[in-house]
Amino acid sequence: MHKLQDVQNSPSDLAVDIDRVGIKEFRLPLVVRDRDAGLQHTVATVDLGVDLPAAFKGTHMSRFVEALEAWREQAPESPVPALDYRSMRGLLESVRLRLDARRAYVKFRFPYFRAKAAPATGSAAPVAYDCTMTGELTEGEHPVFTLEADVPVTTVCPCSKAISRAGAHGQRALVKLTLRMTKFEWLEEFIDIAESSGSAQVYSLLKRQDEKLVTEQAYDDACFVEDVVRRVAEKMNAHPHVSWFRVEVESFESIHCHNAFAVIERDRKPHRA
Amino acid sequence: MHKLQDVQNSPSDLAVDIDRVGIKEFRLPLVVRDRDAGLQHTVATVDLGVDLPAAFKGTHMSRFVEALEAWREQAPESPVPALDYRSMRGLLESVRLRLDARRAYVKFRFPYFRAKAAPATGSAAPVAYDCTMTGELTEGEHPVFTLEADVPVTTVCPCSKAISRAGAHGQRALVKLTLRMTKFEWLEEFIDIAESSGSAQVYSLLKRQDEKLVTEQAYDDACFVEDVVRRVAEKMNAHPHVSWFRVEVESFESIHCHNAFAVIERDRKPHRA
Amino acid sequence: MHKLQDVQNSPSDLAVDIDRVGIKEFRLPLVVRDRDAGLQHTVATVDLGVDLPAAFKGTHMSRFVEALEAWREQAPESPVPALDYRSMRGLLESVRLRLDARRAYVKFRFPYFRAKAAPATGSAAPVAYDCTMTGELTEGEHPVFTLEADVPVTTVCPCSKAISRAGAHGQRALVKLTLRMTKFEWLEEFIDIAESSGSAQVYSLLKRQDEKLVTEQAYDDACFVEDVVRRVAEKMNAHPHVSWFRVEVESFESIHCHNAFAVIERDRKPHRA
Amino acid sequence: MHKLQDVQNSPSDLAVDIDRVGIKEFRLPLVVRDRDAGLQHTVATVDLGVDLPAAFKGTHMSRFVEALEAWREQAPESPVPALDYRSMRGLLESVRLRLDARRAYVKFRFPYFRAKAAPATGSAAPVAYDCTMTGELTEGEHPVFTLEADVPVTTVCPCSKAISRAGAHGQRALVKLTLRMTKFEWLEEFIDIAESSGSAQVYSLLKRQDEKLVTEQAYDDACFVEDVVRRVAEKMNAHPHVSWFRVEVESFESIHCHNAFAVIERDRKPHRA
């Protein structure tokens, strides 16, 4: 076959280092390790990137897709890649080598499902959590992994409850938890932390007995976004393997058309009052 | 200047009539007629289209933008066009003639703001309503206008209230109202219909006295999406100038991570049970 | 257990029939029938609804989720439901009966993946198509199914090519195909129709030889959104089992920040010029 | 009036400092200073926040809205606030004082419009740029302002051009520029920098002569996302008043359904190869 010009390998017009270059919004089926079921099928949106030194005009974009495809085929137990820390490390190393780079970056965003039982009847149905797993690898260094999970909860307003004759406004809220750890923990553990920190949990299937229980539980434990963010932060601060975290709680206020939010970010050493 | 080939005017490869062809997602500043303030500045996303007979290869896309720009300049009282039925009719006619078409179509989507006073203290702040105004004009016929408004309300669940010791789950809900009328009415009138049909209204600014009032009002008037959609439908059915409507209520359930919805669509003759 | 009040079954305050009431944005893992691989794992967002006569205050929202969960368990070959026409019909009937309704409605939205080989090197990688499968069932009637697929293509502008010394502006475009059929056809067949109707197809993995081929193919077959929509319509009109279709082509114009679009909708009898 | 309990002022259950607490997604009409027209009407989505010490249970959310409303009324020349650095500093100070906080935070996101003339015919029409202006103020310190602008351009692929007999794939791309400065510069200056760094600029209105010019210009100046990001970075590095910037270029590849991206971030001292 006629040899085609490799424009990317030609010298750069402007000698400026590029921090990260690659592809975004690549969608593919994905299998994720799952504490309860072993493996879980989902779909992911993937970003892949590397650094590019000042000397080179361009990176080779097709190699990112080739790295992903080769990684899929290495997973013999399923037709699609099983995402966990070990396999992600392999993908990062493969991207770095194929692209001849010093640093590699991979981000997977995917809905993660758990069968969740209603609190009174035990009726179960899946709940979806939007999760993100990001890895960065610099040559000769340990990879850095960041985990994110968006966990819905319900909140009841303590002010509304205190001042009103009856009732209190409540709403769906989202706990957005981002973290780094020093030792592996299942995603489920952090979802549990977030879910147990609102006025009540959110479910996919509730029968009347369940609805009664959740309503009363939420009313009895009215809490602001400030309370929820502190509860999550307290548990993350106490966790033996969390080295860094950021938690944001955003509530879709039912009496307003804007939202309320609260954020706490902490490095490994807890900054407590 | 050298004459450039007009490819669009060349014959079509396939002799198929096109129902509608044009531009989408064009953004521009917009002035809208406002019942209270006279004029209101906002921004719009605009779609414009015409029909294209089988004989022609293509339409002339730049003429849609020219029609919009000429329409802006016809509005002497402000630097941007003032949208109302009369000016929209003018724009439709201009699009139809400039594109040499039988039918023209225009859709404006824009946030519409109203200063809204809190129910107890009277403290005021703007509330945004996502609105759409669509017009279609066929040569020799009357134009057809469709109005849409997304109106947030709050709902409290009657089932949760009835079965629980205290409290009841509530949430933000959206009344999505679409309608055609036989005689002009202000957008404000339909927003009022939607806002008065939930458990309580939604506000931008509420002090404690207001929050108490809204909480109690919502708890006292617990209603399902089914109740809200019927209340709106009842008022629309009774309206002297509404010839067609569709109302959908979607509530962002606070105890679930999915939503509840209900829809009623009626032609001018009310279909009542 | 203490019997809890069934508020939904109480009489309606306003005697207005509701066209459709149910749940929206319910997310779950899904297995879809796949022409090539047999079964494909993906995730779906589901809407479920029924009609509600004027006499009843509310529907029973939890039954929609129960119907979905029971449907999942009927699929013995996989831990999640395998979506096809037969199983969707079963779900519709189950929803109708569980909710004691005359009409049932189900909508599944999901990314559908196909391994797609590059045109010169044959290198393969998955392409995602956003698909929707909708079913409606009225008691005593045949169910009505509607299929939608959003298929990306590339277009090169014939006008830009004709008037310019060299080059021509090109862009990604989306063919949004919606259809009903009288006899089963695989989704793949309609994706193929859409993909073969632009200036060139869109791929996930292209090596240099492939990129050369696709670039030249697209430049040689420059076409407007009008051309693309007509090509798709022509093939849909000629299809023996398509009873109704709507095709919209939207191109993300590279020299503008707005889009161009064209729409053709036809009932089973072709309306040709 | 009966005095209502101030729950927010009660002691916190968990003594954890909150980094930021406030409101999000508040929408309002906005007037922005404009280099050419003096003032420009647009609409904004606003986030407002403060820090909250460990001792207090909650912040007072309604005061954020009151601060915004009071700020609007201080702007005598228009019915809505005119956003610039001076007025934003005033808002930050007002938020900080009203909420009794040490730090205040304000973020405005808004479309910003410029009338843009076609390069050959001079025909003009507005182009929308999604912009963000963020301010943070800590008691006793200078406020820190960050400016963001998303600027569409067109890119033509140099590899595709070099290897193909004719044509080259092109696409819309977005230059996402974020920056801090030591001395005021108009937003327009940074939009100009981004717009002049692609293969060609993007316009709202192009006649045939313009389309010819833009097509040829883009084909003659084919560039990768890597080239665009370096051109912008080079100009930002050379700018006398930019103390920090981050530029990301994302191109919506016309031959793929995923995107390409490149990022350069630099502190005030340029890090050049």
- Give this complex's ipTM: 0.93
What is the 8-class DSSP label of residue C30? E
Cα→Cα distances B109→A268, B24, C220, Å: 47, 11, 38
3-state secondary structure of C91: helix
Determine which of A230, A254, A271 to mutate to test the interface with D (most D C-beta atoms within 10 Å).
A230
Taking CB atoms and an 8 Å limit, are D4 and B40 in contact across chains? no
Q: Can you give the pLDDT of all 273 residues of chain B as single tens digits?
A: 468 999 998 888 899 999 999 999 999 999 998 888 789 999 999 999 999 999 999 999 999 999 999 998 875 555 556 888 889 999 999 999 999 999 999 999 999 999 999 999 999 999 999 999 999 999 999 999 999 999 999 999 999 999 999 999 999 999 999 999 998 889 999 999 999 999 999 999 999 999 999 999 999 999 999 999 999 999 999 999 999 999 999 999 999 999 999 999 999 754 333
**How many CA atoms within 13 Å lie on the side-chain side of B21?**
29
**What three-state secondary structure class fits B261?**
strand
Query: What's the mean per-residue pLDDT of chain A?
Result: 93
Residue D206 has pLDDT above 60, yes or no: yes
Smallest CA–CA distance, residue D63 to chain B, in Å, is 9
Of B28, B126, B206, the CB nearest to D113: B28
* A10 Cβ contact partners less than 8 Å away, ≥ 6 residues apart: A57
- Chains in contact with B, where contact means 3 or more Cβ–Cβ distances below 8 Å, are A, C, D
Helix, strand, or coil (residue B149): strand
Low-confidence spans in chain A with pLDDT less than 50: 1, 270-273
Contacts (Cβ under 8 Å, ≥6 apart) of C178:
C146, C147, C148, C245, C246, C247
What DSSP character marks residue C213? H
Q: Is A124 helix (H, G, I), strand (E, B) or coil?
A: strand
Neighbours of A121 (CB within 10 A): 16
3-state SS class at A187: helix
Q: Tell me what the mean pLDDT of segment D184-205 comes to.
A: 96
Place of tokens 């090197």: C121
The neighbouring-strand residues paired with B107 are: B47, B134
Contacts of C119 in chain D (CB under 8 A): none
* Contact call for B28 and D126, based on CB within 8 A: yes
Q: Which of C235, C238, C224 is nearest to C191 (CA)?
A: C235
A83: Cβ–Cβ under 8 A, 6 or more apart, which residues? A30, A31, A32, A33, A44, A108, A110, A133
Whole-angstrom Cα distance, residue B97 to residue B93?
Answer: 6
**pLDDT value at residue D270:** 43
Q: Which residue of B has its CA nearest to D206?
A: B62
Pairs of CB atoms within 8 A across B/C: 177
pLDDT tens for residues D55-66? 999 999 999 999
Closest Cβ opposite residue A258 in set D26, D57, D260? D26
Structure tokens at D122: 């001079």
Best CA proximity match to A112, nearest among A185, A184, A44: A44
Cα nearest neighbour of A65 on chain D = D258
Residue given tokens 């999760």 in the structure block = A131
Residues 6+ apart with CB under 8 A from B32: B39, B40, B42, B82, B83, B84, B110, B112
pLDDT, residue C202, reads: 98
Chain-chain contact of A254 with B128 (C-beta, under 8 angstroms): no
How many contacts does A have with B, using Cβ atoms within 8 A? 140
Query: Based on C-alpha coordinates, what's the Rg of chain B?
Result: 22
pTM of the model: 0.95
Which residues of A make CB contacts under 8 Å with C?
A: 1, 4, 6, 26-29, 37, 40-43, 62, 65-66, 68-69, 79-80, 111, 113, 123-126, 128, 204-209, 212
Q: Do A41 and C80 touch (CB under 8 A)?
A: yes
Which of C4, C12, C261 faces B24 most closely, judged by CB atoms?
Answer: C261
**Does B69 sit within 8 Å of D125, measured CB to CB?**
yes
Q: Are C44 and B201 in contact (CB under 8 A)?
A: no
Instruction: Check CB contact under 8 Å for A257 and B204.
Output: yes
Dump pLDDT digits (tens) for B85-126.
Answer: 889 999 999 999 999 999 999 999 999 999 999 999 999 999
Residues of B in contact with C164 (CB under 8 A): none
Provide, as residue numbers in chain B, all residues whose Cβ is less than 8 Å from the Cβ of D43: 42-43, 111, 113, 128
Band of residue D136 on the pLDDT scale cut at 50, 70, 90: very high
Closest-CA residue to C62 (of A210, B182, D174): A210
Closest CA to A260 of C190, B7, D47: D47
Instruction: Check residue A270 and give its pLDDT.
Output: 42
- List chains touching A (3+ CB pairs under 8 A): B, C, D
One-letter identity of residue C164: S
**Beta carbons of A69 and C205 less than 8 Å apart:** yes
Question: How many Cβ atoms are within 10 Å of C10's Cβ, its own excluded?
Answer: 14
